[in-house]
């Protein structure tokens, strides 16, 4: 995992010689603003090109871009950095679904998304429930964490 001190050296996460497809690079260049691309835009590119989100994330790293505005609210917001807040009253159905998918008291980003989709909830609602339960989200689909 990269730290704040590693900013600007994201390509180092990948083996030397790793390259991104020209198609992905082009689409990223069209959507990058001030060296940043939103999580939503990265996922939209992945869907449009029918590639895994992690493939787009790798291309962002290789271009030394920064991902911001995580759709779960975990990073990339100013000035707070993260906007996820504990749910005041967690939905019992979301809480049960989150607990059922825990691995070592953590839940992956993709599992949070699946819960939101299956229960017709917003992604932020699921991450808010995780926050209220003290559960960390891991395995970002685009490789930010």
* All structural domains of the chain with their residue ranges: 4-68, 92-138
Tell me the mean pLDDT in the region 69-91: 93
State the pLDDT at residue 90: 86
Are residues 101 and 66 in contact, defined by beta-carbon separation less than 8 angstroms?
no
Are residues 35 and 112 in contact, defined by beta-carbon separation less than 8 angstroms?
no
Other Cβ atoms less than 10 A from the Cβ of 97: the count is 21
Tell me the mean pLDDT in the region 62-72: 95
Pairing of strands 36-38, 66-68: parallel
Q: What are the CA-CA distances from residue 4 to residues 7, 73, 117 (Å)?
A: 6, 18, 32
Residue 143 pLDDT level (bands cut at 50, 70, 90): very high
State the pLDDT at residue 111: 98
Residue-averaged pLDDT of the chain = 92
């Amino acid at each position: 995992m990269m730290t704040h001190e590693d900013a600007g050296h994201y390509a180092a996460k990948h083996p030397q010689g790793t390259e991104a497809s020209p198609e992905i690079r082009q689409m990223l260049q069209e959507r990058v603003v001030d060296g940043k691309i939103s999580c939503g835009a990265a996922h939209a590119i992945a869907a449009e090109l029918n590639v895994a989100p992690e493939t787009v994330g790798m291309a962002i790293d290789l271009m030394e871009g920064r991902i911001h505005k995580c759709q779960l609210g975990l990073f990339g917001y100013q000035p707070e950095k993260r906007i996820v807040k504990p749910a005041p009253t967690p939905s019992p159905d979301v809480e049960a679904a989150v607990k059922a998918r825990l691995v070592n008291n953590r839940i992956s980003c993709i599992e949070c998304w699946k819960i939101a989709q299956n229960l017709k909830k917003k992604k932020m609602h699921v991450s808010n429930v995780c926050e209220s339960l003290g559960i960390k989200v891991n395995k970002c689909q685009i490789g930010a964490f």
